[in-house]
Amino acid sequence: MMAALVLAVALPVAGAAQARDLWSWGSRGSDESTVAVADLPLQGQQTYRLILQGGPFPYDKDGSVFGNRERLLPRERRGYYREYTVETPRSRDRGARRIICGGRQPTAPEACWYTSDHYSSFRKIVQ
């Protein structure tokens, strides 16, 4: 109901194309919002390469289990998802950007998602 209200308010102001983007960002478990590896920020591209190489990672928490408590990613068993920091220039801490990958083998993930807003929204990473 709330998403429909936001969409209805956004349509006259933002236009149909932007409203579709708002809708896909707010949809739980939606695969409609994607980002190509080449379109990730440079730090995201670097983190993605490190994931496929198995590291080394700059932060101790990189590779730790991501619990998907927000339930924005597809439901999977605990331990399926792992999170990795995407460095944010000029940030004093790890920042808000992450890549979350799922799969049995960390260096060969079945799927990865990028978030620039600390788990409020995700975009599936595609080649």
List the catalytic residues. 83, 118
Q: How many CB atoms lie within 10 A of CB 40?
A: 20
User: What count of Cα atoms within 13 Å lies in the side-chain half-sphere of residue 20?
Assistant: 5
Coil, strand, or helix at residue 51?
helix
> Torsions phi, psi of 24, nearest 5?
-70, -35
Cβ atoms of 117 and 90 closer than 8 Å? no
CA distance 106 to 109: 6
